[in-house]
Amino acid sequence: MAAPALADERVAAGPGGRARRGPGRRRDHLVGALLVAPALVYFLVFLLYPALSALYYSFTDWNLRSDANWVGLANYADLLFDDVKYPHFWTSVRVTLQYTLIAVPLTLVAALAQALLLNAIRRGANLFRLLLFLPVVTAEAAVGAIWRWLYDPQYGLINTLLGLVGIPGQNWLNTPELVIPALAFIAAWQCGISMIIYLAGLKGIPGTIQEAAVIDGAGPWQRFWRVTFPMLRPTTFYLLVTGVIAALQVFGLVYVIFSGNGRSVTGGPEQSGLTYVLHLYLFAFRYDAMGAACAMSFILLVFIVIVTALQFRFVRQEAS
């Protein structure tokens, strides 16, 4: 995220960029510092300090209660290499990658399709926009409960609807191969924010470009691939980067879906829904290994940074 912000040449060109002279300049320094101060205090107290202390705990055997003992790199080494202590660490990595690879593209496609349709119509656009936005406003606890029922193998609406078109009903949340697609579908169902952002991107495409393409005789399909989609690349890139960061941290939904019914949360059938952060959560709060959980979160941080950097390097290059 840092790169585009920094590269923005407008930083220097804006009125703030052109430094004033004399007392005005000194006053600017004071005002600027004062305006940033509350956010900075917040950053130091609730972001930087917690992050550093989590980093410290990741080198200890802390269990939330007793004093933390320094164990050096043991947590990191054990997580990566000791499959007796952490038999499902790599499972959780695999599950999370699968989820990300399915959920993010699915969400983007759904959001883009909705935005294109909304952008093409006039009458009723407001109503449709509202209806398509609805899934975003629901609390996670409720989303999990609703979908657990929709996916129910006996009473679920989804199997009933599939039955109408002759597809046999599935045991969605209890078949390892179907768990991730089922979760990804819920994510795509909640694509409203991405849809709105795509819509913003579409509104930003000058009408003259589209008209020129029409005059050149391009059909709607060609116009989409030659004009619209390339123009939307910055938006797609933004949604891709933030979407991947969020998908790698998916937690609330799986926690709600696989808890309850008296079952302890062990991540669905054959750990097929054991996402990275759910696994981390279990070690933090259920298996008494906060130190290891902190180490997991820094492994995740490093991974997120690498994935994001790769996207900036390759996807962005391709985009421009």
> In 131-168, which positions are buried (b, 16+ CB within 10 angstroms) versus exposed (e)?
ebbeeeeeeeeebbeebbebbbeeebebbeeeeeeeee
Among residues 5, 7, 165, 215, the one that binds another protein under rule CB under 8 A? 5
Q: How many residues bind another protein (CB under 8 A)?
A: 141
Closest CB 176 distance from another protein, rounded Å: 8
Among residues 259, 311, 312, 315, the one that binds another protein under rule CB under 8 A? 259
Residue with tokens 């004399």: 22
Closest CB 47 distance from another protein, rounded Å: 4
Distances in Å between the Cα of 75 and the Cα atoms of 61, 65, 226, 297 are 8, 18, 50, 11
Stretch that binds another protein, among 69-77, 101-109, 116-124, 221-229 (CB under 8 A): 116-124
Among residues 68, 76, 88, 226, the one that binds another protein under rule CB under 8 A? 88
Closest CB 7 distance from another protein, rounded Å: 11
- CB 28 within 8 Å of CB 36: no
Residues 166 to 195 in contact with another protein, rule: CB under 8 A: 169, 171, 173-174, 189, 193
Give yes or no for residue 152 binding another protein (CB under 8 A): yes
Stretch that binds another protein, among 73-81, 98-106, 153-161, 207-215 (CB under 8 A): 153-161
Nearest to 182, CA basis, from 115, 269, 265, 264: 269
Residue with tokens 């269990």: 63
Segment (H or E) for 286:
none
Tell me how long the chain is: 320
Q: Which residues pair with 60 in a beta bridge?
A: 70
Closest CB 280 distance from another protein, rounded Å: 6
Give yes or no for residue 218 binding another protein (CB under 8 A): no
Give yes or no for residue 77 binding another protein (CB under 8 A): no
Give yes or no for residue 209 binding another protein (CB under 8 A): no
Position 304, amino acid: I
In whole angstroms, give the CA distance from residue 172 to residue 176.
8
Stretch that binds another protein, among 63-71, 73-81, 95-103, 206-214 (CB under 8 A): 63-71
Give yes or no for residue 109 binding another protein (CB under 8 A): no
Give yes or no for residue 51 binding another protein (CB under 8 A): yes
CA angle (282 as vertex; 260, 185 as ends), nearest 5: 60
Give yes or no for residue 103 binding another protein (CB under 8 A): no
Give yes or no for residue 224 binding another protein (CB under 8 A): no
Stretch that binds another protein, among 14-22, 69-77, 92-100, 210-218 (CB under 8 A): 14-22
List, in order, residues 6 or more apart from 194 with CB less than 8 Å away.
107, 108, 111, 239, 243
Segment (H or E) for 62:
none
Closest CB 193 distance from another protein, rounded Å: 7
Residue with tokens 């003259």: 208
The DSSP 8-state label assigned to residue 136 in this structure reads G
Closest CB 304 distance from another protein, rounded Å: 5
Closest CB 290 distance from another protein, rounded Å: 6
Residues 265 to 294 in contact with another protein, rule: CB under 8 A: 265-266, 269-271, 277, 280-282, 284-288, 290, 294
> In 209-234, which positions are buried (b, 16+ CB within 10 angstroms) versus exposed (e)?
eeeebeeeebeeeebbeebbeebbbe
Closest CB 102 distance from another protein, rounded Å: 17
Window 20-39: contact mask with another protein (x via CB under 8 A): x------xxxxxxxxxxxxx
